[in-house]
Amino acid sequence: MYKKSLLAMALTGVSLSNMTMAAPTADIYGFVDIGLEHFNNSGLVNGADVYAGGEAPNGNSDAQEFALTNNVQSRIGIKGEEAVEGGWKGTYRMEFQANVLESGGEALKTRLGWLGLEKGDHSFKIGTQWSTFMQYSGWNTARGESQGLASYFYVTDELKGSMAYGFRNSSVINYTYGNGGWGSASPVTATIALHVGDDSRTTDVNGDDELTNDAGITGISVAGATTLGDLTLNAVYVKNLVAESEAAKANLAAAELSADAGKIAAAKDLVTEPAIFGAGAKLQATKELEFGFAYRGADRDAEENSYTYTTSLSTQYQFNEKTNIHLGFGQGEDDDSSARQLKANFYGQVWYQVTDSRSVRFEFDHADYGNDGEVLATLVSMRQSF
């Protein structure tokens, strides 16, 4: 009896040991980030492409002197991995933005959430992810935590669904060869992503909102980069894809029957296939000094005056062990002379690492749209990581 008990205990121990070895890792991480922001807006609607703060209890507008904001979205997340047969590795990540400034508000919202498989240079992910455009183009020149994106949004806001603004995308199936677009470690890297059911455009049918796009794959992203010594070159193309629904066809037919130019244009806009593209470079001039360049464009899929373009330059300098400085400039133009033209976009950030887990920073973003107005956002923020 005693020997049987010892055997049972030993088998149980081995079983638990195997379970422990097989269990995926679980790394909990996050930070609290709170800033004090001044927002100055002149002649524009909602600051156009400059981010006017986030999760401030009373918003952040030109009518206020300043506001507390959670611009970078305080967050909590969990990520991990485990070994899978054949040398593959399973990965996962769930990350939520946390509303830390407004009591009684919505506590958590999804930022990222995906499952993945990796082996060598090959990786697959499915779920909510960083956009391919941000990885392969935004990273060239947009290094600020929450500001400095005016020239970037000037182009990327032409897309539809969560693909708009080129930030994070919902419902994506993604394949990447190499390390992806964020860094410059891979000699060659490439990504292709399929956006599934991610088009929220609707039309009214007997009082109900019906989707105008029936496609299962509502978008595609393709990108690549190569690193040659200290220089990384990259390019990316993103496009919405549309299969017109019966509701969309009926809406367009009714608009054409009315012969109203405004109605026809609105009906066509519900089924356009806009696209954005980018080409750029990163140069690591020295260990402390980096330069970035990006040329970006958008095609609204309009019959005329369809294109928008921007050019951006930036530099990042590690002043010392604790201080990093980032400065950039961008400008843009629209084929449509009646649309707002981005005369100039100046932006920057100074980051100071107080301790290993606490930092403070100053950010600014200024966009001048000529006769259409201008906007300036300045932010001082503190972060505590864990």
pLDDT tens for each residue of 2-50: 444 544 444 445 444 444 456 899 999 999 999 999 999 988 876 788 9
The DSSP output letter for 372 is: G
Q: Which amino acid is located at 381 in the chain?
A: S
Alpha-carbon span 226 to 6, nearest angstrom: 59
Q: Tell me: the pLDDT tens digits for 296-345?
A: 999 999 988 999 999 999 999 999 999 999 999 999 999 999 999 999 99
Residue 20: predicted pLDDT: 47
* pLDDT at 170 > cutoff 80: yes
Q: Structural domains in the chain?
A: 27-385 (2.40.160.10)
* pLDDT at 56 > cutoff 90: no
The DSSP output letter for 154 is: H
Pick the closest to residue 339 from 289, 304, 287, 383 (CA basis): 304
Residue 61: predicted pLDDT: 81
- Torsion sign, CA atoms 358, 37, 368, 279: positive
Residues near 212 by Cβ (< 8 Å), separated by ≥ 6?
199, 201, 202, 203, 242, 244, 245, 247, 248, 251, 270, 271
213-241: average pLDDT: 97
Alpha-carbon span 320 to 352, nearest angstrom: 10
Q: How many CB atoms lie within 10 A of CB 21?
A: 9
Q: Is 182 exposed, middle or buried (0-12, 13-18, 19+ CB in 10 A)?
A: middle
Q: Which amino acid is located at 74 in the chain?
A: S
In the chain, % of residues over pLDDT 90: 80
Alpha-carbon span 296 to 35, nearest angstrom: 30
